[in-house]
Structure 1
Amino acid sequence: MIGASSFEELNGSGSDYSEEVEIIVNVGGIRQILYGDILNRYPETRLAELMNCITGGYDAIFSLCDDYDPGQREFYFDRDPDAFKCIMEVYYYGEVHMKKGICPICFKNEMEFWKVDLCFLDDCCKSHLNEKKEELEEIARRVQTILDDLGFDTSESRWKRFQKYVWKFMEKPESSFPARVTAVLSFLFILISSIVMCLGTIPDLQVEDAEGNNVEHPTLDNIETACIIWFTMEYVLRLMSSPNKLHFALSFMNIIDVLAILPFYVSLILTHVGAKMMELINVQQAVQALRIMRIARIFKLARHSSGLQTLTYALKSSFKELGLLLMYLAVGIFVFSALGYTMEQSHPETLFKSIPQSFWWAIITMTTVGYGDIYPKTTLGKLNAATSFLCGVIAIALPIHPIINNFVKYYNKQRVLETATKHELELMELHSAGGDLRGFRGDTQGSEDVKMWYHLKSSHSDTFIPALSKEKHHRTRLQSCK
Structure 2
Amino acid sequence: MWEFSRTRYADCNGSEASEETEIAVNIGGVKRILYGDVLNRYPETRLAELVNRSTNSTQEDLSALCDDYDELKQEFYFDRDPEAFKCILELYYYGEIHMKRGICPMCFMREMDYWGIDTEYLDECCISNLNEMESELAEIAEKVKTILDDLEEDATMTRGQRCQAFLWKLMEKPESSLAARVIAVVSFAFILLSSVVMCVGTIPELQVQDAEGNLVEHPTLESIETACIIWFTVEYMLRFVSSSNKLHFVFSFMNLIDFLAIMPFYVVLILTHLGTAMMELANVQQAVQALRIMRIARIFKLARHSSGLQTLTFALKSSLKELGLLLMYMSVGIFLFSALGYTMEQSHPDTMFTSIPQSFWWAIITMTTVGYGDIYPKTTLGRCNAAVSFLCGVIAIALPIHPIINNFVIVYSKQRVLETAAKHEIELMALRAKEEAQECQEAGKMASAGNSSVWDSAAVSASQSDTYIPLLGEKGQPAHKRKNKSINMNSSL
Distance 1:310 1:45, change over 3 A: same
Instruction: State the 1:186 CA deviation.
Output: 0.3
Shift in CA distance, 154/472, structure 1 to aligned 2, threshold 3 Å: same
Separation of aligned partners in 2, 1:341 and 1:200? 43
User: Cα distance, 1:60 vs. partner?
Assistant: 1.3
Unpaired stretches in structure 2, ≥5 consecutive residues: 10-14, 438-446, 455-468, 488-493
Q: Is the 8 A contact 1:62 1:68 kept in 2?
A: yes
Task: Measure, in 2, the Cα distance between the counterparts of 1:478 and 1:21.
Answer: 28
Q: Contact conserved, 1:333 with 1:362, CA < 8 A, in 2?
A: yes
Q: Please name the residue that 2:299 is paired with.
A: 298
Over 3 Å counting, the alpha-carbon distance change for 1:145 and 1:18 in structure 2 is farther
Aligned counterparts of 1:115 and 1:318: Cα–Cα separation in 2? 39
Task: Give 1:478 shift.
Answer: 3.3
Task: Show structure 1 runs of 5+ residues with no match.
Answer: 1-5, 447-460
Aligned twin of 2:52 = 52
| 1:17-166 correspondence to structure 2 within 5 Å | 19-54=19-54, 55-166=56-167
TM-score w.r.t. structure 2 length?
A: 0.87
**The 10-residue stretch of structure 1 (247-256 or 338-347) with the greater mean CA deviation from structure 2:** 247-256
Match runs of 1:13-412 below 5 Å: 13=8, 19-54=19-54, 55-412=56-413
Residues 257-301 of structure 1 show CA distances to partners (whole Å, capped at 9, x for unaligned) of: 111111111111111111111111111101110100000100111
Cα deviation 1:301-338 (Å, max 9, x = unaligned) = 11111111111100010000000000000000000000
Q: Match of 1:46, as an amino acid? A: R
Deviation at 1:154, TM superposition (A): 2.1
Alignment-derived partner of residue 472 in structure 2: 464
CA distance in structure 1 between the partners assigned to 2:139 and 2:71 by the alignment: 47
Partner of 1:452: none
What is the alpha-carbon distance in structure 1 between the residues aligned to residue 387 and residue 480 of structure 2? 69
Cα pair distance change 1:18/1:192, threshold 3 Å: farther
Q: 1:441 to 1:39 in 2, by over 3 A?
A: farther
Q: Secondary structure at the match of 2:31?
A: strand
Query: Does the 8 Å contact 1:151/1:441 carry over to 2?
Result: no
Report the Cα distance in structure 1 between the residues aligned to 2:290 and 2:395, rounded to whole angstroms.
39
Q: 1:474 to 1:116 in 2, by over 3 A?
A: closer
Query: SS of the residue aligned with 1:24?
Result: strand
Change (3 A) 1:373 1:465: farther
- Further displaced range: 422-431 or 10-19: 10-19
Aligned residue for 1:475, secondary structure, equals helix
| C-alpha separation in 1, matches of 2:385 and 2:109 | 57
Q: Indicate the structure whose relative CO is greater, using CA pairs within 8 Å and at least 6 residues apart.
A: 1
How much identity, in percent, do the aligned residues show? 68
Residue 422 of structure 2 is matched in structure 1 by: 421
Pairwise CA distance, 1:479: 5.8
SS in 2 for 1:20: strand
Q: Distance in 2 between matches of 1:480 and 1:237?
A: 55
- Number of residue pairs aligned between Structure 1 and Structure 2: 457
TM-fit CA distance, 1:463? 1.6
Describe the shift of the 1:354–1:59 C-alpha distance in structure 2 as closer, same or farther (beyond 3 A).
Answer: same
Counterpart position of 1:475: 481
**Given that residues 19 and 35 in structure 1 are in contact (C-alpha distance below 8 angstroms), is that contact kept between their aligned partners in structure 2?**
no
**C-alpha displacement at 1:433, in angstroms?**
2.7
In the TM superposition, residue 87 of structure 1 has moved relative to its aligned partner by 1.4
Deviation at 1:19, TM superposition (A): 4.7
CA contact (8 A) 1:18 1:52 kept: no
Shift of 1:208: 1.3
8 Å contact 1:194–1:297 — kept in the other structure? yes
CA distance in 1 between counterparts of 2:109 and 2:401 reads 35
C-alpha distance in 1, partners of 2:35/2:164? 66
2:12 is matched with none
Shift of 1:435: 9.1
Deviation at 1:71, TM superposition (A): 5.0
- Sort the Cα spacing of 1:263 and 1:242 in 2 relative to 1 into closer, same or farther, 3 A: same
Q: Which amino acid aligns with 1:478?
A: N
RMSD between superposed Cα atoms in Å: 2.8
